């Protein structure tokens, strides 16, 4: 955050979330958003390795387009790092380009360029969770923090996603409680309810059916899953109506009970994928399914499977 940005970095270690965060900070300092399409590139290491390192080095040497700097990121770059050309480039990099290679482990010849990103220990993770929850406008009780760590571990990428879900689930409540965590987040081996909801809202049928099946085997009630899908589609419908009225994301977040800008953005994006009629039809499907289950016309498990298939195919 302080000082000049160097022209060459190796981002190493297991914490991918922190690597991505560091890349974003560097991008904000170097690249004007209006020029991002021309001066910011992300490549995969196997792509660079297979096409030859000369293409990467050539890109580094190209003059930035209407900008002082260019940023190039190569992910999973272990194979590329073993090439002597990279070590030679690192000794005399192009000043107008910032080249970042992300790896788990750094080659000895490149150690001096390494920035390590470790997963935090539990006390650090607890502090980070509270800070991340505050960004979503929430507090978290100590039992809730402990339950989240128990179920999600200390990986910051997963923790960030789970906190977004918890912020949306808790609605207008100021604080996230332990029962919220246990209701929303399954064990590390099982998908959670919000994964199913997102899969259905994004029409990922195979993944949605697989997720629903696992959740039922984990003991989650099909009726609860149907209620959560209905809640999501109601939020999507409200968001879509407000988008059409040119309302701001803050106004939309308030209307759907979300204090999380990220979750509001996700609901808005899902709303753009449906017509108003499709949303109305899906809500009617959800209501019909609830009625058929309560009237005993169909078993819960079969009703859920048919419903998920229809919602994803609509």
The mean of the pLDDT values for the chain is 88
Q: Please state, in angstroms and rounded to a whole number, the distance separating the CA atoms of residues 99 and 282.
A: 47
Q: Is 202 exposed, middle or buried (0-12, 13-18, 19+ CB in 10 A)?
A: middle
- Residue where a domain stops, chosen among 184, 204, 219: 184
| Domain tally, the chain | 3
User: What is the pLDDT averaged over residues 161-189?
Assistant: 84
The pLDDT, as a whole number, for residue 189 is 47
Same domain, 75 and 158: no
Tell me whether strands 139-140 and 114-116 are parallel, antiparallel or unpaired. unpaired
Same domain, 49 and 160: no
CB count within 10 Å of CB 256 equals: 22
Structure confidence by residue, pLDDT tens digits, 274-302: 899 999 999 999 988 988 887 888 888 89
Structure confidence by residue, pLDDT tens digits, 106-153: 877 889 999 999 878 888 999 999 999 999 999 999 999 998 988 887
Query: 174 to each of 93, 122, 252, 277, how far by Cα in Å?
Result: 49, 24, 19, 35
Same domain, 138 and 167: yes
If you count them, how many residues does the chain have? 314
Whichever domain contains 243, its CATH number is 1.20.272.10
Same domain, 42 and 107: yes
Q: What percent of the chain has pLDDT over 70?
A: 96
227 inside domain: yes
Domain that holds residue 246: 193-313
Q: What percent of the chain has pLDDT over 90?
A: 45
The pLDDT, as a whole number, for residue 278 is 92
Same domain, 133 and 215: no
Give φ, ψ of 223 to 5 degrees: -60, -40
> What is the helix, strand, coil percentage profile of the chain, to 5?
65, 10, 25
Same domain, 100 and 128: no
296 inside domain: yes
Same domain, 111 and 18: yes
Q: Please state, in angstroms and rounded to a whole number, the distance separating the CA atoms of residues 264 and 51.
A: 40
Longest dimension (CA), the chain: 74
Q: Is 37 exposed, middle or buried (0-12, 13-18, 19+ CB in 10 A)?
A: exposed
Same domain, 108 and 127: no
Same domain, 54 and 92: yes
- List the one residue out of 187, 207, 189, 188 whose CA is nearest residue 197: 207
Q: Over 50: is that where the pLDDT of 190 sits?
A: no
13-17, 65-69, 163-167: the lowest-pLDDT one: 13-17
Structure confidence by residue, pLDDT tens digits, 194-213: 788 888 988 999 989 988 88
183-187, 221-225, 269-273, 296-300: the lowest-pLDDT one: 183-187
């Amino acid at each position: 955050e302080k000082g000049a940005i160097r022209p060459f970095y190796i981002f190493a270690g297991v914490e991918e979330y922190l690597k991505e965060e560091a890349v974003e900070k560097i991008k904000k300092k170097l690249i004007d958003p209006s020029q991002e399409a021309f001066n910011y590139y992300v490549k995969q290491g196997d792509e660079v390795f297979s096409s030859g390192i000369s293409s990467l080095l050539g890109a580094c040497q190209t003059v930035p387009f209407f900008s002082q700097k260019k940023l190039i990121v190569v992910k999973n770059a272990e194979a590329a790092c073993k090439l002597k050309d990279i070590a030679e480039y690192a000794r005399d990099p192009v000043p107008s380009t910032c080249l970042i290679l992300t790896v788990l482990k750094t080659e000895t010849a490149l150690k001096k360029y390494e920035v390590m990103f470790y997963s935090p220990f539990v006390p650090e993770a607890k502090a980070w969770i509270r800070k991340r929850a505050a960004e979503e406008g929430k507090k978290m009780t100590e039992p809730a923090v402990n339950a989240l760590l128990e179920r999600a571990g200390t990986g910051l990428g997963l923790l960030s996603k789970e906190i977004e879900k918890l912020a949306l689930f808790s609605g207008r409540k100021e604080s996230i409680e332990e029962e919220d965590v246990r209701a929303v987040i399954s064990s590390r081996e099982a998908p959670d309810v919000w994964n199913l909801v997102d899969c259905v809202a994004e029409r990922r049928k195979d993944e949605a059916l697989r997720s629903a099946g696992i959740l039922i085997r984990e003991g989650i009630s099909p009726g609860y899953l149907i209620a959560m899908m209905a809640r999501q589609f109601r939020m999507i419908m409200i968001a879509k109506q407000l988008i059409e009225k040119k309302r701001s994301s803050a106004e939309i977040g308030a209307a759907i009970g979300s204090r999380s800008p990220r979750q509001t953005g996700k609901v808005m994006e899902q709303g753009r994928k449906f017509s108003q009629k499709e949303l109305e039809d899906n809500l009617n499907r959800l209501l019909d399914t609830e009625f058929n289950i309560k009237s005993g016309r169909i078993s819960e498990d079969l009703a859920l499977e048919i419903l998920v298939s229809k919602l994803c195919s609509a």
